[in-house]
Every structure is written in C-alpha cells, then in structure tokens.
Amino acid sequence: MQVQQNYSLKTYNTFGVEAYAKYFASFSSIDELNLVLTDYSSGSTLILGGGSNILFIKNYDGLVLKNEITGIHTIHEDEDHIYVKTGAGENWHRFVMHCINNNFAGVENLSLIPGCVGASPMQNIGAYGAEIKDIFLSLEAFHVSEKKIVNFSLNDCDFGYRDSVFKGKYKDQFIILTVTYRLNKKPQFNISYGAIKEELDKRGVNELSIQSISQAIINIRSSKLPDPNVIGNAGSFFKNPEVTQHEFHQLKRINPNIIGYEMQNGNVKMAAAWLIEQCGWKGFRRGDAGCHNKQALVLVNYGTASGKEINDLGEEIKQSVKEKFGVELETEVNII
C-alpha cells in the first residue's frame, strides 16, 4: 500500500471527469486502513468504490481511499435462508452472479448495477421493484475518528428511497468494510416492474427462474442505459420526486399525461424523467455535457466535460422543472 500525491481520479469515476486527490491510497485489509489513517488522519477522507455514483466538481483536498477488501463467503444457513458475508470492495455484479450461480434468490432484480458492495447500503440501491434493504442483514463499518469497528443491523441503517444513515446523520463518519446479506432458498419472483415480462416473453421463457429474470434484466439494462465505458455517466442523476395525492391530482389536471405511481405511504412517486423531458432537456447537449437522448434522467459526459459543467446543467434542469411544475428535484449522485 502506497500513498500517492496529487493523483488523477479520472479513471476512478464513471463520469470520467478529471479531478485530483491531494492524497490517494487503496487498502485491502483493516490493518492497511488503520495504517494509512494513522498517518493521514488530520484532513478529510473520501471512500471510493467503483465511482459510479459520484461527480467530482473540484479537486479533492484530502485523502481518497479506494476500498479493495474482497471475498464472498457463506457464513450460515437455515431452512429458508443463506447468509453471505461480502467484502465491501467486491464488485456488486460479481456478487449478484455468485448468488445467481448458486441459486441464492433475492438479488436477481438488482443485476448489472455498477459499483461495489460497500456502496450498496449507502443509498439502498434499487431497481426493478427491489432494494437491498429487502435482503440486508447487517454490516461492519470502521468509525474513522474513533478508529473502531461498529456493527449495524437493518434498523440501525434507517433505509429509505436511495437513502440511509450513511448519507444522512453519519455522512463521512464510517467506512463500510463488509456487508452480510440474507438470501432466500425459495425464490419469490418479482416480474411486475418495467419491461421484465415483455423481455421474458420475447425470449420465450415459460418457466421462471432467478437465472432467467437476471438475464432479462441484464438485457433490458444493456439496451436502455448508456454504458459508462462508452459515454461517461452515473446512472440516474436525480431521484424520482414524491408528492402528496392532492398535489399529484392538481398537477394531473393541468398535465393529463403526467406519470406517477402510488406508494404504500399514500404519496405518489413521479417519474422525474417525464418532468425533465417536458422541459425540453432530453437530448440537450452543451459542449460535452448533456442530458441523454434515450434516458432524460441520466446526465452524460460526451468526452471532456468538467464535473462543474455537468453539475451546472443539473442545476438548470432542476430550476426549469421547479418553474414549470413547482416540483423540487433532488440530486441522487454524490457531488464532491
């Protein structure tokens, strides 16, 4: 483990924007982490997984730590469940494929999400009707200033829609080291969301399995979302906004085609992509910063855009949605 100075982060974020870290190191054990924090504990610290939910708008004046703790281990099983403990630096999709290949159910709808296991509880990653909170058991995290390991249960994490205590009251205080998931031996298929059923029909799948659902989701995602290896992006730049039933009906009276889904709490979650599209942003490009032409929720870097240019575009989009619909969009990507 070597601490580098003035280190380029361009290949460490999927937007592919240039930014420099004052100090940079990767660690693959708690001992290495302790060592580097002992030497560089005075400034600020940023933990990096796959950099797929981050936008650097300036250089980072502190220590950037790349988590490379790996390993996927079954630690326990009972009649209904398999308990799998996974290193935070493990690639998320590799973990998903490990589960699919071993018939551990519960993560199939979360196939092909970029990034690392350690970031999955950060924003309670979710897709196609599933969230990690549904399979989360516990995690171990290192308290940066107190230099001790703390265990978090499901309740401790306070998961919400793309949210957890690690984005809120414990922001920047903990480094997630391992996550333990509780997978199901008996699958409960969820194909009600998006185009899953259509994709399964297209492929002539008559008998459902976690393998066929995972493959359907991989196909849908590959055809719909821009590949960060080709066009820089971090997936959805904004969250889908939540409004009350009353607010939604008022908006619907003026905009009959507006898209919203009723939630369990009685509120309505609106499709941010639709709102953005109605404001004319879909396919918009200024320099190398743009709003994707197939997915209005995804901001992109066509080449040499700076983080600031992309973030400025995001702010303009927010402003115009607010002016046209009176709805406040919240950024999902972590702006650093």
Question: Please, which residue, 157 or 251, has the CB nearer to ligand FAD?
Answer: 157
Among 25, 220, 225, 251, binds ligand FAD (CB under 6 A): 225
Note if 182 is an active site residue: no
Does position 173 bind ligand FAD by CB under 6 A? no
Least separation in angstroms between CB 52 and ligand FAD: 3
C-alpha 252/C-alpha 273 separation (Å) is: 16
> Is residue 205 a contact partner of residue 197, using CB atoms and an 8 Å limit?
no
Note if 162 is an active site residue: yes
Least separation in angstroms between CB 9 and ligand FAD: 10
Does position 176 bind ligand FAD by CB under 6 A? yes
Least separation in angstroms between CB 64 and ligand FAD: 9
Among 17, 64, 99, 175, binds ligand FAD (CB under 6 A): 175
Least separation in angstroms between CB 77 and ligand FAD: 26
Active-site residue identified among 52, 212, 236, 306: 236
Among 37, 63, 220, 234, binds ligand FAD (CB under 6 A): 234
Q: What is the 3 state secondary structure string of the chain?
A: CCCEEEEECHHHCCCCCCCEEEEEEEECCHHHHHHHHHHCCCCEEEEECCCCCEECCCCEEEEEEEECCCCEEEEEECCCEEEEEEECCCEHHHHHHHHHHCCCECCHHHCCCCCEHHHCCCCCCEECCEEHHHCEEEEEEEECCCCEEEEEEHHHHCCECCECCCCCCCCCCEEEEEEEEEEECCCCCCCCCCCHHHHHHHCCCCCCCHHHHHHHHHHHHHHHCCCCCCCEEEEECECCCEECHHHHHHHHHHCCCCCEEECCCCCEEECHHHHHHHCCCCCCEECCEEECCCCCCEEEECCCCCHHHHHHHHHHHHHHHHHHHCCCCCECCEEC
> Is residue 78 a contact partner of residue 96, using CB atoms and an 8 Å limit?
no
C-alpha 269/C-alpha 276 separation (Å) is: 15
Tell me, residue by residue from 26 to 65, as one string, x for binding to ligand FAD by CB under 6 A and - for no binding. --------------------xxxxxxxxx-----------
Active-site residue identified among 90, 138, 162, 309: 162
Q: Which stretch binds ligand FAD (CB under 6 A): 22-30, 33-41, 210-218, 228-236?
A: 228-236
Least separation in angstroms between CB 176 and ligand FAD: 3
Least separation in angstroms between CB 80 and ligand FAD: 26
Number of residues that bind ligand FAD (CB under 6 A): 33
Among 37, 96, 99, 113, binds ligand FAD (CB under 6 A): 113
Note if 332 is an active site residue: yes
Question: Please, which residue, 96 or 251, has the CB nearer to ligand FAD?
Answer: 96
Site for ligand FAD in 9-28 (CB under 6 A): 14
Q: Which residues are the active-site residues? A: 162, 236, 332
Residues that bind ligand FAD (CB under 6 A): 14, 46-54, 67, 88, 113-116, 118-120, 122-123, 125-127, 174-176, 225, 228, 233-235, 334
